Amino acid sequence: MSDTDRSLEDAVLDLLDRRAPGASVCPSDVARAVHRCDDDGWRELMEPVRRAAARLAARGQVEITQHGAPVDPAKARGPIRIRRPSR
């Protein structure tokens, strides 16, 4: 796993830690947090963020949702959100 992959996973978890229980984050929030520049370079991180979220989901640390319902990250097409698993 690359340093960027680790940074993306850490950013997902960090952003979720700052949110209320049950709240979610958008992959673009994660990409912007890691990119930290005012240009559009964060867009290149969108697919890597989705892959990072999928790895975290496979470990049970997050779940990927669409329209508020959990989805299989491998089958998700279109906009997603990332949240802590509901218990």
Assigned fold of 3-83: Arc Repressor Mutant, subunit A (1.10.10)
Predicted confidence (pLDDT) at residue 87 exceeds the cutoff of 80:
no
Which amino acid is residue 3, in one-letter code? D
What would the pLDDT profile of 16-40 be if each residue is shown by its tens digit?
999 999 999 999 999 999 998 878 8
Q: What does pTM read for this prediction?
A: 0.92
Q: Any idea what DSSP says for residue 37?
A: S
